[in-house]
Structure 1
Amino acid sequence: MTLEGTNTWVLRAPGSPTCAIVDPGPLDRAHLDRVAACGPVDAVLLTHGHPDHSEGARTFGDLVNAPVHAVTQSLGTAPLTGDEVIEAGGLEIRVLATPGHTDDSVSFQVHDAILTGDTILGRGTTVLDGKLGDYLATLKTLAALPRGTTVLPGHGPELPDVVAVAQAYLKHREDRLAQVRAAAERLGGAPTARQVVELVYADVDRSLWPAAEWSVRAQLEYLGIA
């Protein structure tokens, strides 16, 4: 579910001697060394706590002697609240709370771009390891950003307009929620996420079903069925 792998982003204003690093990625020392070579680094930022984004963060922070900013305090050395501006790499980086993919998901807005982690992917849609209600609210927040804001995602290629993508994600979630509701009614009682996946995702590669269960579980909870 990581597409081509995790994107590590290097943020630096023109002429700045320092940079900020978003999502150092897994604990792969060769990768961390390559990213460190972009330094000096004055801040490390995490979009969320999944290991493919955060596992190498503390090691990287020690390597470059920079604070690691994270919502989940056990992952970093400096807290993020999801409502602040961080100055790093010669830039003002606005932090937006964007929960839903995970409870600790944040996005980082820099000028006319936004780094979304796994909240919006460069291709396809994301899975939910958080709450659907939070995610729908997050998508509405992103859809209210200026048109033409570039998406720099945690996986896959960049996208030209966060508004268009957020609106498409909202439509997808509404359609999928209707399918889950219909499947639950067909199954009756209190169906498991797996039972719903077998109906709703019958035409999807079974290797993707475990990830689909995360999202279906969140949808059943949202519907008051779980």
Structure 2
Amino acid sequence: MTSSEDWAGGSFGETGTCVLAPNASIMTLDGTNTWVLRDPDSSRSVVVDPGPSIDAHLSAIDAAAAPDGRGSVAVVLLTHHHADHSEAAREFAERHGCGVRALDPAHRLGSEGLGEGDVVSVGGLEVHVVATPGHTSDSLSFVVPQDRAVLTGDTVLGRGTTVVAHPDGQLGAYLSSLQRLHALCGEQGITTVWPGHGPVIDDALGALDFYLAHREQRLEQVRAALAALPDVDDPARAVVEVVYADVDPVLWGAAELSVRAQLAYLGED
């Protein structure tokens, strides 16, 4: 795994270039990873998650899409609708005269949607679309067979774990998505995770094993905390203060979203 201390994006495999957006925060880690995908024999690129509307960042994406001064952007793809990934999608696509493809119709530019089973082909590059809801209901992952890599958006991060953004995000769907990605990586020999935040992960199966184990551990902690709590109308904050006591309180608001997703999941279970 790439060290988080020196993460600044860069080129990966045959097709991938990560342009790191200058929007680092406690929620976005080092910043949003914008991925520029291009087959070496083609001058046309696929841009995944243009990120925030920051002129310097959009110029850096332009440079990555045309490193020799020649090249064009064929299409913009979105992993999900959160603004740190999608804010600049429309303006970036308009300046390149291309479309934006997303699962959520509100974030598309042009008539083409994007969903499970779609294959986006540009030159010799193929991007295979996998529905991975859970972090959000519209979360997608993109497999690049040429590099045995999967772009996961916020479904799997390069460092730490992600938030299940309840109520749009649902834990049951998220667990199913992790299991599906695990099976897919095993079946297709996918070794690398290109995440939406944080460094590249070189052990895809190991990362997914960790994510699944972590979620099960958190569920057990939530069950135990609920059993020890007195009856309250809204136990989510009380559970956060017990289960996430080792987490910076600045993150408790995000943790509460995940706890609400966990409580909903346990209620359904």
State the TM-score, normalizing by the size of structure 1. 0.95
Aligned to 1:136: 175
Which structure 1 segments of 5+ residues have no match? Answer: none
Q: CA RMSD in A?
A: 1.4
Does 2:195 match 1:153?
yes
Aligned to 2:24: none
What do the CA deviations read for 1:146-179 (whole angstroms, capped 9, x no partner)? Answer: 3552100000110012211111100000000010
Aligned to 2:159: 123
Q: Identity rate of aligned residues, in percent?
A: 56
Which structure 2 segments of 5+ residues have no match? Answer: 1-26, 66-70
Structure 2 residue corresponding to 1:213, chosen from 245, 251, 256:
256
Counterparts of 2:219 and 2:206, CA distance in 1: 20
Aligned to 2:75: 43
Q: Assess if the C-alpha contact under 8 Å between 1:142 and 1:162 holds in 2.
A: no
* Residue correspondences, number: 225
Which secondary structure state, in structure 1, belongs to the residue aligned with residue 33 of structure 2?
Answer: coil
Residues 179, 191 of structure 1: CA spacing in aligned structure 2 closer, same or farther, 3 A cutoff? Answer: farther
Counterparts of 1:92 and 1:205, CA distance in 2: 41
Residues 142, 150 of structure 1: CA spacing in aligned structure 2 closer, same or farther, 3 A cutoff? Answer: same
Aligned to 1:73: 105
Counterparts of 1:148 and 1:86, CA distance in 2: 18
Matched residue type, 2:235? T
Structure 1 residue corresponding to 2:137, chosen from 84, 92, 103:
103
Which secondary structure state, in structure 1, belongs to the residue aligned with residue 40 of structure 2?
Answer: coil
Does 2:156 match 1:113?
no
Q: Assess if the C-alpha contact under 8 Å between 2:34 and 2:49 holds in 1.
A: yes
Counterparts of 1:88 and 1:179, CA distance in 2: 46
Matched residue type, 1:156? G
Q: 1:66 offset after TM fit, Å?
A: 1.0
